[in-house]
A = this chain, B = another copy of it.
Amino acid sequence: MPKSVPDRPVLRSAKRAGGRDACATRAAILASAVRAFAAHGYDGAGVREIARGAGVTAMLVNRYFGSKEKLFGEAVAATMAQPVILAQGNLAAPDRARAFAQALEAITRPGAAPLDGFAIMLKSAASPRAAAISRAQIAKHHFQTLERTLTGPNTEERAALVLSLVAGLHQMRQTLRLPALVKADPAALTALLEPLFAQLL
């Protein structure tokens, strides 16, 4: 089975005639890598596929990033630098639980675009090296952001459980597409999620 990335074949719009703009090429490769890793995971995404998505050859990928593993590290760091759901720390506790529930439901909705950071982490779990990179970046970005906004006892454990809940729903609803979650009423799902977040926040 082919693993085509039929989306926008070339991102490099602002390059010179000869195609010699190192910065734009690098950015195009990184963007293609994020898409490919989120879609197929670390083992499933090939350097050739990533190169094709950026409009270059496979050789340039290793030339710019050294190896597939280092490219994966940069892709994970780039996607996890954007906090997305978890950064709503400026709300009061009850409102925050509702905001989390609504945001999570919307993001895992069947048609919606997945969270690249979580998609990459979940689909790359089989590779120990990729898992180590994901673990480090999750701890550095998402986990810290989240734990800082919590008060009371067991903030570490509660922050980690919030991440587990997000990862679990992402996995079952958007990656695995469990029928019960795909066809579920969004409002009912949000209503079920809200008290769970309320318990943890």
Contact = CB atoms under 8 A, between A and B. Distances in A.
B167 A171 contact: yes
Nearest to A160: B180
A134 interface: yes
Interface residues of A, number: 55
Interface in A115-152: 121-129, 131, 134-135, 138-139, 143
Interface string A170-201: 01110111111100110011001101100110
B138 A178 contact: yes
A129 B37 CA distance: 17
A103 interface: no
B44 A175 contact: no
Interface in A1-33: 1
A74 to B, nearest CB: 19
Contacts of A129: 1
Contact of A180 (B156, B173, B181): B156
A150 to B, nearest CB: 12
A94 to B, nearest CB: 15
A169 interface: yes
Given A122-B122, A138-B178, A167-B171, 11 more contacts: A1-B129, A43-B43, A43-B44, A44-B127, A143-B178, A157-B180, A157-B188, A160-B180, A160-B181, A164-B181, A167-B168
17 contacts: A1-B128, A43-B43, A121-B176, A122-B125, A125-B125, A125-B175, A134-B176, A154-B192, A157-B181, A157-B188, A157-B189, A157-B192, A159-B180, A163-B172, A163-B178, A168-B169, A168-B171
